[in-house]
Structure 1
Amino acid sequence: MSVNALVEKGILAEQKCGSNFAYTLLEDGLFLPTEYKVLRSQDDQCFLKCMKLTYNGQIQFYYLLEDYRSLAQMLPSLDADGLMVIVTNVLANMLQVKNNGFLSCQKLDLTFEHIYVDTNTYKVKLVYVPVNQGFYMDDASCENAFRTSLIKLIGTTQNLCNNKTIKFANSLSNALLSLQDLYETANTGEAFQPYGNTGVINAKTYPGMQPKTEGRRRSASSMQLVSLNAPNKIALAVDRSEYVIGKKADAVDGVLSFNKMISRIHCKIIQKDGQFFIEDLQSANGTYVNYEKLNPHSPRLLKNGDRIRLANSDFEAMID
């Protein structure tokens, strides 16, 4: 998986462009304008920004790295827990591509040299090449190649090997597990305590409000929003009819301060007639339910087990 198949075949040529890079299309008639338009229209920040240029009369795809570093560059200083967060984000992005309907995982460059990571948040951006030939024969080949590369990486890199990554490598070897299964496995590799030290600040207080003791929280909460790829496990206990979530401590009920991509006032959970809804509050980087982006101020009904993404942080809705 370390060799770019389209470069090897003479279909693409890679050029370094300062801190950025480009792929030049060496054959005519391979460019897919519809895929390029879809790629450019994506605002979920799943992909590295791509611009179509002309270079010596040939089509060139120019990719802007911004402040992202390649996974290959990060590996020497990365630990096992960090790797799992990054892999979880890669899998989430791959699922978004699969569920898009217009794009294909075959066109993703999943070499470690071209998986790009924000070193502060471990958010991932992928490289997509809008041509009518893929890096892989089909989506299954793409997934298998990525699995194989991860198994080899975990098995040969001491600083990336612990009980969690070893268990995950075993899951990668299980052909019965789908990409969705692997995503869920990556997020549930260690136990966590939904009550106790969650790292969550319940910021709003009102006159006469009773303290939220452990017993009171356990009995009163019928929904929790549980982190899946945060640096530390978090469980937000939704305990009021409108529960606002964001990173501004004096304006929300559940504070998520670990990720600068989450807006100060990001979204809210609404409890009504025994059901729960989530509403995006015009966040900068979006609120998603099962990888589908919500329109601002359009509440979406939640079910137990729904996957919720706030910017690039993933959570699971746990509803009693």
Structure 2
Amino acid sequence: MYNGKVELVYFTSAYQPLSALLPKIGIHAFTQILVNLLGKIMEVETNGFLDCHNLDLSADKIFIDTDTQSVFLIYLPVSVPSDDPGNANFENELRADLIRLIQSVPNLMSPTMTDICTKLADATVSLERLCRFLTARTEKSTKPCGQGQPPLTFTAINAPERVCFHITSPEFVIGKNAAAVQGAITFNRAISRVHCKITFAQGQYFITDLNSANGTFVNRARIEPQKPVPIHDGDIVRLANSDFMVRISGGDAG
């Protein structure tokens, strides 16, 4: 309460505004920030009760954890009628603002950023596909390993700590109990102790939910427990309410 009214306060001292980082940021770090920014916006779009129009996406109101490149946004819970079904106008304005932002920073201009601006300008490329394209730019290509199995990288998006599993074995179990899994995720209590497993068989990667409490999702669709589902390069996997990007060496991000 402040002067008899409810006041919403954001504590941002632990983070840096994007506007302060732009003059000194590298292309790789900026691209990762874009991935995390788009991931955060997609969370709001699919939340069910939040409205993207209430986000303040000015560069001085986008806050970054410089250790992890995680993005934190200011949400203003105001009631403003919107005539923008499906957030089409919001996304168009977002794309235009990001292009202007990139073009305003000399140290970001490069062939890579020109490609990214081209994708941003193409309204037929969804935010999800754009996120996959950007993630492909942040990943270094690696050579396939033993017996024809290409490495799979499983990377957290917008996590409070860096989580990136490089999977080269036929089976890789993921969960929060470090003693029971190969890939431990400890930052999210909603993830089960033994949540899911990634397997490689017959030239294909699969993910299987291991009866987790809060579910496993592939590209926003919840999968049935104990039923392997194929996963591909660029897929977004959600464990409970945390998102992860799948990268497979030699894959096409589309």
| In 2: Cα distance, 1:233 partner to 1:152 partner | 31
Q: CA deviation at 1:300?
A: 7.1
Q: Which amino acid aligns with 2:128?
A: Q
Aligned to 2:14: 67
1:239 lines up with 2:157 in the alignment: no
Q: CA deviation at 1:167?
A: 0.6
Aligned to 2:120: 172
Aligned to 2:136: 188
Aligned to 2:3: 56
TM-aligned CA distance change 1:175 to 1:317, over 3 Å: closer
Q: Which amino acid aligns with 1:179?
A: L
Alignment of 1:257-268 (within 5 A): 261=187, 267-268=195-196
Partner residue of 2:182 out of 253, 274, 281: 253
Q: Which amino acid aligns with 2:230?
A: K
Q: CA deviation at 1:302?
A: 3.1
Q: CA deviation at 1:186?
A: 1.5
Q: CA deviation at 1:94?
A: 1.0
Secondary structure of 2:230's aligned partner: coil
Aligned to 1:290: 219
Partner residue of 1:269 out of 181, 197, 218: 197
Q: CA deviation at 1:293?
A: 8.9
Between the aligned residues of both structures, percent identity stands at: 26
Alignment of 1:309-320 (within 5 A): 309=238, 314-316=244-246
Q: CA deviation at 1:251?
A: 6.8
Q: CA deviation at 1:254?
A: 5.0
Secondary structure of 2:91's aligned partner: helix
Q: Structure 2, unaligned stretches of length 5 or more?
A: none
Q: Give the TM-score taking structure 2 as reference length.
A: 0.71
Give the aligned length. 234
| In 1: Cα distance, 2:17 partner to 2:163 partner | 24
Aligned to 1:13: none
Aligned to 1:303: 230
Q: Structure 1, unaligned stretches of length 5 or more?
A: 1-53, 197-213
1:160 lines up with 2:108 in the alignment: yes
Aligned to 2:60: 113
Q: CA deviation at 1:261?
A: 4.6
| In 1: Cα distance, 2:120 partner to 2:109 partner | 14
| In 2: Cα distance, 1:88 partner to 1:62 partner | 26
Equivalent residues of 1:276, 1:301 under 8 A apart: yes
Q: Which moved more, 1:306-315 or 1:161-170?
A: 306-315
Equivalent residues of 1:276, 1:302 under 8 A apart: yes
Deviations 1:193-227 (A, max 9, x none): 3436xxxxxxxxxxxxxxxxx333x25x7x83454
TM-aligned CA distance change 1:164 to 1:116, over 3 Å: same
| In 1: Cα distance, 2:22 partner to 2:53 partner | 24
Q: Which amino acid aligns with 1:269?
A: K
Secondary structure of 2:137's aligned partner: coil
Q: CA deviation at 1:270?
A: 5.3
From the CA coordinates, give the structure whose radius of gyration is larger: 1
Partner residue of 2:146 out of 202, 206, 215: 215
Q: CA deviation at 1:137?
A: 5.8
Equivalent residues of 2:45, 2:51 under 8 A apart: yes
Equivalent residues of 1:228, 1:315 under 8 A apart: yes
| In 2: Cα distance, 1:312 partner to 1:226 partner | 12
| In 1: Cα distance, 2:153 partner to 2:45 partner | 25
TM-aligned CA distance change 1:233 to 1:157, over 3 Å: farther
Equivalent residues of 2:170, 2:200 under 8 A apart: no
Aligned to 1:224: 152
Equivalent residues of 1:88, 1:187 under 8 A apart: yes
Deviations 1:109-131 (A, max 9, x none): 11111111111001112121222
Q: Which amino acid aligns with 2:182?
A: D
